């Protein structure tokens, strides 16, 4: 039985209600790819809060506590300002709000690049303080040693190659990667390096589609595409982008809803009723007992 916490909005909004459900595991995710093929693609979305995790969990295999929360939650201009404490706080919330999905937490910029040992200190904090199943870090061949170091010490690692947002200053922007022969070969080499190092899966972001297809066919670990290809072993999007919370989204995002419009309309209706003194009404107020 799970020992995480489910939200019960009928009472305190955070009432512990254990559910008899077995959570997916990292090995179960790996086993979805058999002989180089994944019959049922992996579904992955970002989550940053317990309530969001509760709503997404039944539909996902993996919940990613992405450092995109810097922009989505905190209004930062990039992911570079995200701290380890931020990731741990939100990671713990997502674990509490989920029962089924494998929860993966992004390692923020500056917490793993210096050395494998520094990465282990940060990753072990994430694992211990959130209860997450794995961490994710960006980089290919340059991070292979670190991935191997963590994996050999019991910390599952999801890798991330192609467009790596934490390296946006070095890359010169968020344009798709792999248009030159040099970039093409580097991304393929990065994918092979992280797989050989022990990563259990790899996110392929913002690359020319043939690269994503080639990596998916050549690697024995699942590939998770974002701005890559439908032929990847799974897909991930930032949930708020997919829900239509922002006006500007990357080219590779498909909007499945208009939550921003719904919130605006609902807030406008509320404001109208408050100003007209029609809210609260008899159903929302307490009267003396007769």
Residue 53 has pLDDT above 50, yes or no: yes
Domain boundaries, the chain: 26-260
pLDDT in tens, 142-189: 999 999 999 999 999 999 999 887 766 666 566 777 789 999 999 999
Is the confidence at residue 11, as pLDDT, over 60?
A: no
Q: What pLDDT does residue 22 have?
A: 86
Q: Check whether 136 is labelled as a binding-site residue.
A: yes
Catalytic residue set: 205
196 assigned ligand-binding residue: no
User: pLDDT at position 25, please?
Assistant: 97
pLDDT tops 50 at residue 59: yes
Please tell me whether 33 is known to bind a ligand.
no
Model pTM?
0.91
Predicted local confidence at residue 1, as pLDDT: 35
Q: Please report the DSSP string for the chain in residue order.
A: ---S----TTTTS--------PPP-HHHHHTTEETTEESS-EEEEE--SHHHHHHHGGG-SEEEE-TTHHHHTT--SSGGG--HHHHHHHHHHHHHT-SSSEEEEEPPTTSSSS-HHHHHHHHHHHHHHH--SEEE--BSGGGHHHHHHHHTTT--EEEEEES-GGGHHHHTSSPPB--SHHHHHHHHHHHHHHHHHT-SEEEEESB-HHHHHHHHHH-SS-EEEESS-TTSSEEEE-HHHHHT--S---TT------HHHHHHHHHHHHHHHHHTT-SS-GGGS-----
Supply the angle between the helices 181-197 and 144-151 in degrees, to the nearest 10. Answer: 20
Q: What is the pLDDT of residues 200-250, one digit of tens each?
A: 999 999 999 999 999 999 999 999 999 999 999 999 999 999 999 998 888
Q: For position 113, what pLDDT does the model report? A: 96
Mean pLDDT of 74-100: 96
What are the CA-CA distances from residue 174 to residues 107, 127, 164, 167, 278 (Å)?
20, 30, 9, 10, 48
241: annotated binding-site residue? no
Measuring CA to CA, which residue among 192, 136, 144 is closest to residue 164? 136
Tell me how far apart the 2 most distant CA atoms of the chain are, in Å.
82
pLDDT at residue 249, as a whole number: 85
User: How much is the pLDDT for 90?
Assistant: 98
The pLDDT assigned to 171 comes to: 61
**Dihedral over alpha carbons 173, 240, 188, 104 (to 10 degrees):** 120
pLDDT for 2 beyond 90: no
The mean of the pLDDT values for the chain is 92
CATH superfamily of 26-260: Phosphoenolpyruvate-binding domains (3.20.20.60)
Question: Region 116-134: what's the mean pLDDT?
Answer: 98
138 appears as a binding residue in the annotation: yes
Q: Which of 35, 40, 100, 28 is nearest to 233 (CA)?
A: 40
Could you read off the pLDDT of 272-289 as tens digits, one per residue? 999 999 999 999 999 998
Q: How confident is the model at residue 3 (pLDDT cuts 50, 70, 90)?
A: very low
**Listed residue (59, 76, 60) closest to 68, CA to CA:** 76
pLDDT of residue 14: 58
> At residue 106, what are phi and psi to the nearest 5 degrees?
-65, 140
Give me the percent of the chain exceeding a pLDDT of 90.
Answer: 83
Classify residue 206 as left (phi > 0), alpha (psi -120 to 50) or beta: left
């Amino acid at each position: 039985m799970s020992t995480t916490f489910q939200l019960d909005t009928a009472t305190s909004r955070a009432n512990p209600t254990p559910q008899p459900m077995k959570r997916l595991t990292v090995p179960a995710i790996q086993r979805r790819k058999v002989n180089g093929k994944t019959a049922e693609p992996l579904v992955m979305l970002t989550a940053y809060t317990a309530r969001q995790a509760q709503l997404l969990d039944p539909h996902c295999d993996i919940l990613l506590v992405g450092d995109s929360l810097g922009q989505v939650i905190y209004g930062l201009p990039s992911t570079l300002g995200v701290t380890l404490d931020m990731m741990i706080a939100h990671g713990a919330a997502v674990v509490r709000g989920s029962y089924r999905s494998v929860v993966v937490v992004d390692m923020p910029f500056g917490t793993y690049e210096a050395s494998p040992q520094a990465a282990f200190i940060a990753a072990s904090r994430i694992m211990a303080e959130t209860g997450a199943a794995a961490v994710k870090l960006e980089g290919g061949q340059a991070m292979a040693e670190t991935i191997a170091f963590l994996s050999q010490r019991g910390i599952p690692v999801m890798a991330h190659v192609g467009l790596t947002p934490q390296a946006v200053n070095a890359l010169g922007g968020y344009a798709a990667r792999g248009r030159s022969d040099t970039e093409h070969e580097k991304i393929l080499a990065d994918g092979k390096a992280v797989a050989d190092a022990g990563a259990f899966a790899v996110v392929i972001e913002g690359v020319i589609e043939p690269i994503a297809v080639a990596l998916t066919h050549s690697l024995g670990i699942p590939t998770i595409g974002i701005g890559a290809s439908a032929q990847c072993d799974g897909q991930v999007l930032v949930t708020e982008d997919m829900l239509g919370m922002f006006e500007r989204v990357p080219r590779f995002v498909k909007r499945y809803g208009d939550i921003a419009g719904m919130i605006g309309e609902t807030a406008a209706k509320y404001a109208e009723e408050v100003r007209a003194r029609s809210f609260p009404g008899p159903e929302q107020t307490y009267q003396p007992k007769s």
